[in-house]
Protein backbone atom coordinates (compact mmCIF):
# COMPACT_ATOMS: atom_id res chain seq x y z
CA UNK A 1 0.00 0.00 0.00
CA UNK A 2 1.26 3.52 -0.70
CA UNK A 3 2.67 6.02 1.77
CA UNK A 4 2.22 9.69 0.94
CA UNK A 5 5.08 12.00 1.91
CA UNK A 6 4.78 15.75 2.34
CA UNK A 7 8.29 17.20 2.34
CA UNK A 8 8.37 20.64 3.96
CA UNK A 9 11.35 22.95 3.87
CA UNK A 10 11.79 24.93 7.09
CA UNK A 11 10.87 28.61 7.11
CA UNK A 12 13.11 31.62 6.59
CA UNK A 13 15.82 32.46 9.12
CA UNK A 14 18.38 35.26 9.45
CA UNK A 15 21.23 33.66 7.47
CA UNK A 16 19.14 32.42 4.56
CA UNK A 17 20.71 33.41 1.21
CA UNK A 18 23.70 35.10 2.94
CA UNK A 19 25.55 32.33 4.77
CA UNK A 20 25.69 28.57 5.21
CA UNK A 21 23.64 27.91 8.34
CA UNK A 22 24.27 24.18 8.28
CA UNK A 23 23.35 22.53 11.57
CA UNK A 24 23.76 25.76 13.54
CA UNK A 25 21.08 26.76 16.05
CA UNK A 26 19.47 29.60 14.14
CA UNK A 27 15.81 30.37 14.96
CA UNK A 28 13.15 31.20 12.42
CA UNK A 29 12.66 34.85 11.56
CA UNK A 30 9.26 36.50 11.90
CA UNK A 31 8.57 35.62 8.25
CA UNK A 32 9.74 32.05 8.92
CA UNK A 33 7.19 31.69 11.73
CA UNK A 34 4.49 33.07 9.41
CA UNK A 35 5.51 30.52 6.75
CA UNK A 36 5.27 27.71 9.31
CA UNK A 37 1.73 28.79 10.21
CA UNK A 38 0.79 28.87 6.51
CA UNK A 39 2.24 25.39 5.97
CA UNK A 40 0.30 24.12 8.99
CA UNK A 41 -2.91 25.55 7.53
CA UNK A 42 -2.15 24.06 4.10
CA UNK A 43 -1.60 20.59 5.60
CA UNK A 44 -4.40 20.74 8.18
CA UNK A 45 -6.96 18.96 5.99
CA UNK A 46 -4.63 16.15 4.98
CA UNK A 47 -4.76 12.80 6.84
CA UNK A 48 -1.22 13.08 8.20
CA UNK A 49 -0.40 10.38 10.74
CA UNK A 50 2.89 11.82 11.99
CA UNK A 51 5.17 14.84 11.69
CA UNK A 52 8.89 14.11 11.43
CA UNK A 53 11.51 16.83 11.85
CA UNK A 54 15.20 17.32 11.35
CA UNK A 55 16.82 17.96 14.73
CA UNK A 56 18.00 21.41 13.58
CA UNK A 57 16.25 24.28 15.39
CA UNK A 58 14.71 26.02 12.37
CA UNK A 59 13.15 22.73 11.19
CA UNK A 60 11.77 21.93 14.65
CA UNK A 61 10.26 25.42 14.90
CA UNK A 62 8.59 24.87 11.51
CA UNK A 63 7.30 21.42 12.51
CA UNK A 64 5.73 22.51 15.80
CA UNK A 65 2.73 24.47 14.42
CA UNK A 66 2.09 21.72 11.86
CA UNK A 67 1.99 19.06 14.58
CA UNK A 68 -0.10 21.28 16.86
CA UNK A 69 -2.65 21.88 14.11
CA UNK A 70 -2.83 18.13 13.39
CA UNK A 71 -2.84 17.16 17.11
CA UNK A 72 0.16 14.85 16.75
CA UNK A 73 3.62 14.88 18.33
CA UNK A 74 6.76 15.91 16.45
CA UNK A 75 9.24 13.06 16.06
CA UNK A 76 12.88 14.08 15.64
CA UNK A 77 14.76 12.03 13.05
CA UNK A 78 18.46 12.68 12.24
CA UNK A 79 17.99 10.99 8.84
CA UNK A 80 16.52 14.31 7.68
CA UNK A 81 19.07 16.63 9.33
CA UNK A 82 20.76 19.37 7.36
CA UNK A 83 24.01 18.49 5.58
CA UNK A 84 26.97 18.48 7.95
CA UNK A 85 28.95 21.31 6.36
CA UNK A 86 31.85 20.90 8.78
CA UNK A 87 34.31 23.81 8.49
CA UNK A 88 31.90 25.78 6.28
CA UNK A 89 29.13 26.00 8.90
CA UNK A 90 28.18 29.65 9.40
CA UNK A 91 30.46 30.87 6.58
CA UNK A 92 29.18 33.66 4.35
CA UNK A 93 28.75 32.71 0.69
CA UNK A 94 30.92 35.60 -0.48
CA UNK A 95 33.75 34.31 1.76
CA UNK A 96 33.44 30.81 0.27
CA UNK A 97 33.48 32.06 -3.32
CA UNK A 98 37.24 31.64 -3.86
CA UNK A 99 37.55 28.30 -2.02
CA UNK A 100 38.36 25.56 -4.62
CA UNK A 101 36.62 22.94 -2.45
CA UNK A 102 33.46 25.08 -2.43
CA UNK A 103 33.60 25.37 -6.22
CA UNK A 104 33.97 21.58 -6.53
CA UNK A 105 31.02 21.14 -4.16
CA UNK A 106 28.84 23.25 -6.44
CA UNK A 107 30.16 21.97 -9.77
CA UNK A 108 30.35 18.20 -9.27
CA UNK A 109 28.23 17.47 -6.25
CA UNK A 110 28.19 13.66 -6.32
CA UNK A 111 31.98 13.37 -5.86
CA UNK A 112 32.56 16.36 -3.57
CA UNK A 113 32.48 16.51 0.21
CA UNK A 114 31.79 19.51 2.40
CA UNK A 115 35.02 20.63 4.06
CA UNK A 116 35.22 18.44 7.18
CA UNK A 117 31.64 17.30 6.67
CA UNK A 118 29.38 15.08 4.55
CA UNK A 119 29.05 14.34 0.87
CA UNK A 120 25.66 14.70 -0.80
CA UNK A 121 25.73 10.94 -1.49
CA UNK A 122 25.90 10.33 2.27
CA UNK A 123 23.03 12.75 2.79
CA UNK A 124 20.95 11.06 0.09
CA UNK A 125 21.68 7.58 1.51
CA UNK A 126 20.59 8.49 5.04
CA UNK A 127 17.49 10.35 3.84
CA UNK A 128 16.35 7.51 1.56
CA UNK A 129 16.98 5.02 4.39
CA UNK A 130 14.73 7.23 6.54
CA UNK A 131 12.01 7.32 3.87
CA UNK A 132 12.16 3.53 3.50
CA UNK A 133 11.87 3.06 7.27
CA UNK A 134 8.90 5.44 7.49
CA UNK A 135 7.15 3.75 4.55
CA UNK A 136 7.42 0.43 6.39
CA UNK A 137 6.09 1.99 9.62
CA UNK A 138 3.24 3.91 7.92
CA UNK A 139 2.29 1.71 4.94
CA UNK A 140 -1.13 3.29 4.31
CA UNK A 141 -0.69 6.72 5.82
CA UNK A 142 0.61 10.18 5.08
CA UNK A 143 3.80 11.44 6.69
CA UNK A 144 4.99 15.06 6.87
CA UNK A 145 8.76 15.58 7.03
CA UNK A 146 10.27 18.98 7.83
CA UNK A 147 13.80 19.17 6.49
CA UNK A 148 16.20 21.31 4.45
CA UNK A 149 16.47 22.31 0.79
CA UNK A 150 19.33 20.05 -0.31
CA UNK A 151 18.06 17.09 1.71
CA UNK A 152 14.65 17.41 0.04
CA UNK A 153 16.32 17.80 -3.36
CA UNK A 154 18.43 14.68 -2.75
CA UNK A 155 15.27 12.68 -1.95
CA UNK A 156 13.48 13.96 -5.05
CA UNK A 157 16.50 13.37 -7.31
CA UNK A 158 16.63 9.76 -6.11
CA UNK A 159 12.99 9.07 -6.88
CA UNK A 160 13.09 10.97 -10.19
CA UNK A 161 16.22 9.08 -11.25
CA UNK A 162 18.05 12.37 -11.85
CA UNK A 163 21.81 12.77 -11.23
CA UNK A 164 22.76 14.84 -8.18
CA UNK A 165 24.76 17.17 -10.47
CA UNK A 166 21.40 18.51 -11.71
CA UNK A 167 19.90 19.18 -8.28
CA UNK A 168 20.67 22.91 -8.53
CA UNK A 169 18.07 23.08 -11.32
CA UNK A 170 15.31 22.37 -8.77
CA UNK A 171 14.15 25.13 -6.44
CA UNK A 172 12.95 24.27 -2.93
CA UNK A 173 11.91 27.53 -1.31
CA UNK A 174 11.61 28.27 2.39
CA UNK A 175 8.22 27.14 3.69
CA UNK A 176 7.45 25.11 0.56
CA UNK A 177 5.77 21.71 0.26
CA UNK A 178 6.75 18.88 -2.11
CA UNK A 179 4.55 15.79 -2.28
CA UNK A 180 5.10 12.25 -3.51
CA UNK A 181 3.44 8.86 -3.19
CA UNK A 182 5.65 5.84 -2.59
CA UNK A 183 4.20 2.50 -3.72
CA UNK A 184 5.78 -0.94 -3.27
CA UNK A 185 7.01 -0.92 -6.87
CA UNK A 186 6.83 2.69 -8.03
CA UNK A 187 6.72 6.34 -7.00
CA UNK A 188 4.69 9.32 -8.20
CA UNK A 189 5.93 12.87 -7.65
CA UNK A 190 2.83 15.03 -7.32
CA UNK A 191 4.14 18.49 -6.36
CA UNK A 192 7.55 20.17 -6.09
CA UNK A 193 8.14 23.48 -4.28
CA UNK A 194 4.52 24.49 -3.69
CA UNK A 195 4.51 27.66 -1.59
CA UNK A 196 2.14 27.54 1.35
Q: Identify the pLDDT of residue 44.
A: 95
Q: Which residue range(s) make up the domain with 73? A: 3-195
Radius of gyration of the chain (CA): 16
Query: Rounded CA gap, 70 and 64, in Å?
Result: 10
**Residue 151, Cα to own-chain centre: how many angstroms?**
4
Please give the positions annotated as active site: 10, 82
Report the pLDDT value the prediction gives residue 115, as an integer from 0 to 100: 87
pLDDT of residue 17: 85
CATH code at 133?
A: 3.40.50.1240
Q: Are 144 and 43 in contact (CB under 8 A)?
A: yes
**Partners of residue 143 on adjacent β-strands:** 5, 50
pLDDT of amino acid 110: 86
- The count of other CB atoms within 10 Å of the CB of residue 10 is 31
At a CB cut-off of 8 Å and minimum separation 6, what does 135 contact? 3, 182
The number of folded domains in the chain is 1
Which run of H or of E encompasses 46?
Answer: none
Q: What is the pLDDT along the chain (196 residues), one digit of tens a residue?
A: 799 999 999 999 998 888 999 998 999 999 999 999 999 999 999 999 999 999 999 999 999 999 999 999 999 999 999 999 999 999 999 999 999 999 999 888 888 999 899 999 999 999 999 999 999 999 999 999 999 999 999 999 999 999 999 999 999 999 999 999 999 999 999 999 999 8
Query: Residue 11: its pLDDT value, please?
Result: 97
Q: Is 142 helix (H, G, I), strand (E, B) or coil?
A: strand
Amino acid sequence: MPTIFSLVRHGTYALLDDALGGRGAYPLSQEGHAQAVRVAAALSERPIATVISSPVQRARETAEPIARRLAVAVQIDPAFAEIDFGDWTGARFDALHDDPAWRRWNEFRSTARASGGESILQVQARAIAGITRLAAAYPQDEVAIVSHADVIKAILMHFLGVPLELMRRVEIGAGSISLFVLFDTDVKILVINLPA
